[in-house]
Structure 1
Amino acid sequence: MKKKNFISILIVSIISFNSLALNPKAFTEEENKKLVICIDAGHQKKGDSKLENVSPNSSNKKPRVSQGTEGISTKKPEYVVNLEAAAILKDLLVEKGYTVIMTREEHDVNISNAERAEIANKSKADMTIRIHCDSLKDNSKTGATLLVPSSKGSTKDIFDESNKYAEILKSNLKDNGVKVNGIFERNDITGFNWSRVPVVIFEMGFMSNSCEDAMLCDQNYQRKLMSIVADSIDQYKDGIKGLKN
């Protein structure tokens, strides 16, 4: 190799190295853009009691979408809290460079659970995060809950990846002092059964508990939870074999 050519290559290599040193996120963000994360803020302003099939292979039907619960003390509707948290998560993921798809960004919509799953399917999402809050007659119950599609039947092909992310999220929530009631498989959730991409429901806590209700309505707590969700996506991504070309 001629000395002049060698020096030119060396200079280009040094410049490239320095560029990466100054911007260590360059490769990470480029990789992140290859991944699509769908965020579904659960429920909407008005429920829709019209029925839709629970799954493509079943004649069983459920309401298209329910209105959700409300805070026992704050009286704040769940659909509002869900979208507040989802918007925070969107910003965090966009900042990291991910491609983000939202099923809704306003309250006055009418999008069924099957239609929400189809939005994720059409976008070929690598993961769908469905944001919800819980409620029970027992107002002493607290903590987050993670739901995943069944490992059997029509969702068996998306179970492994869904559960993999749920396990990562569960661990990170616990490490950050958030109580987690567990990970539970469900075969009766329309948004799971119509999904062809990995999906997890994150029930952030119980609005039927006065203390947790106040926490869930607090933007700082929402940001804490969503930061954990976003960081868990980073860990999940690192475990994906053969990142999209």
Structure 2
Amino acid sequence: SETEPIGPGSSTRKIKDGGGTRGVVSGLTEAELNMRVAARLRPLLERAGVRVVMTRTRTSGTSVGNVARARIANRAGAGLFLRIHADGSTDPSARGSHSLSPALRTGWTDDIYAQSKRAARIVQAELVRTLRFPDRGLQERSDFTGFNWADTPVILVEMGFMTNRTDDRLLATAAYQRRAAVGLCRGALRFIGRSTAPCAP
């Protein structure tokens, strides 16, 4: 598998695309679920007058990797680089939503650290409120390539656990994909200081 540096000038490398997880009940791949939610989120944000730039619009084909994704957000001058994911665990009882933001790393994330942390807090609160999944809180990560290459506020949202029967069964439904999109919309718009009214499904 191809690797890439975890940050600018780093000799530490990580796999470009880990492939994600898969639904224990639904059989959906993580990429398929993430794309379904992103496709529902996009029109809600556009209705609010937000210009949405996607790092991908289909699940098939070659992954661009996390450095390239960060560069897409950087080039766009994104107000928020929102990375939509679902989690997996060896513990099938693990469930709920959590949001991750960059740890403070001088020269890499110091310029985006505070705003990213604020974004994670706001988006996590809105996502949990709409999904009504257990709140697993916030986490900072220093080893995420997509964080360390970003020059814009960036967060990674784990909507739920595809390895948990309850989370997976719910997230596979159109209703819960809509809920996730609404929560992410509200969080993103609150973060950039806009009305959340257009997020109503």
Residues 152, 54 of structure 1: alpha-carbon distance in 2 compared, 3 angstrom cutoff: closer
1:20-77 Cα offsets, whole Å, 9 max, x none, are: xxxxxxxxxxxxxxxxxxxxxxxxxxxxx11111111310111111211101111111
TM-score by length of structure 1 reads: 0.75
For the structure 1 residues 174 and 133, does the alpha-carbon distance in structure 2 shift closer, same or farther, using more than 3 Å as the test? closer
Which has the larger helix fraction? Answer: 1
Give 1:163's aligned residue.
Answer: 117
Show the 5 A alignment for 1:1-245: 49-107=1-59, 108-153=61-106, 154-176=108-130, 177-238=132-193
For residues 113-170 of structure 1, what are the alpha-carbon distances to aligned partners after superposition, in whole Å with 9 as ceiling and x for unaligned?
A: 1000000001110101100000101000100010001123311210111111111122
Q: In structure 1, list runs of 5 or more residues that go unmatched.
A: 1-48, 240-245
The number of residues matched between the two structures is 191
Residue 202 of structure 1, CA deviation = 0.5
Identical aligned pairs, as a percentage?
A: 35
Give the distance between the partners of 1:77 and 1:50, measured in 2 at CA: 20
User: What residue identity is the alignment partner of 1:170?
Assistant: Q
Residues 72-111 of structure 1: CA deviation (Å, up to 9, x unaligned): 1111111000100011111110111100000000122330
CA distance in 2, matches of 1:232, 1:132: 15
Q: CA deviation at 1:217?
A: 1.1
Kept in 2: contact 1:131–1:202 (CA 8 A): yes
Shift in Å, 1:171: 2.4
RMSD of the alignment, in Å? 1.3
Aligned counterparts of 1:69 and 1:173: Cα–Cα separation in 2: 20
Tell me if structure 2 keeps the 8 A contact 1:147–1:202: yes
Deviations 1:155-189 (A, max 9, x none): 12101111111111222234443322011000001
Structure 2 spans left out of the alignment, 5+ residues: 195-201
Separation (CA, whole Å) in 2 of partners of 1:53 and 1:184: 22
Alpha-carbon distance, 1:231 to partner: 1.2
